[in-house]
Amino acid sequence: MKRKNKILLSSLVVVLLFLIVTNSSKNYKIEILKNMKNGLEDESLVNHYWEYIRGAKELSNVPVIIRYFDIDLNKDEVDDKIVVLIGPPFSTSHGDTVEILINDNGKYHLAFSGVFRINKQDSKYTPLGKINILKEMENGFYIIEILGDQTEVELIYDKKKGEYEMYLTDSK
């Protein structure tokens, strides 16, 4: 009987260790690109991007598309925003502008801005790539992974600069 208990306990420990290792792996992530909302329906984003919206309307008749995803990036119980700007002057042959806005007492500050090919240039701007929030945190903020067409990067928060820094990753 004691031998069976030892085997059962050993098996349980192995299973628990496996679960801990697999749950802490970088494979756990939240994919957000296909779940983004229309940013023109969010008054705070319209106010934040008003100059861009006005400039785009003056330059062309092509509508400005702003998409966003609310997520608490630093566990302060306040939603920050990951924003994708599509359409003139944001979308070029190089891609769409991805920005991270950190909510600091109700006011947003820009913590990252970069251009990536993550949406097809079709009528629905179908996602071509992915934006993932990884389970891992560094310097108190979640690591963000952007998988664009021919580009794979990780965004890691730098406390001293108060913004996300971009690091190229190996192809997966």
Look at residue 106 in the predicted model and tell me its pLDDT. Answer: 85
Instruction: Please say whether the beta carbons of 164 and 156 come within 8 A.
Output: yes
Residue keyed to tokens 């108060």:
162
In angstroms, the CA 77 to CA 62 distance is 37
Sequence spans of domains, the chain: 28-168
- Determine which helix (DSSP H) or strand (DSSP E) holds 20, and give its type and residue range: helix 2-23
From edge to edge, which strands make up the β-sheet containing 80-86? 37-38, 65-71, 80-86, 96-104, 107-116
Residue 56, SS3 per DSSP:
helix
Would you say the C-alpha torsion 44, 45, 50, 54 has a positive or negative sign?
negative
| Each residue's pLDDT expressed in tens, for the chain with a length of 172 residues | 567 666 766 776 666 666 665 554 445 788 998 889 998 888 888 888 888 777 776 766 667 789 999 999 999 999 999 999 886 555 555 788 899 999 998 889 999 999 888 887 777 778 888 999 999 999 999 999 999 877 899 999 999 999 999 999 865 4
Supply 70's token pair.
């609310």
Look at residue 52 in the predicted model and tell me its pLDDT. Answer: 78
In angstroms, the CA 157 to CA 79 distance is 16
In angstroms, the CA 122 to CA 87 distance is 11
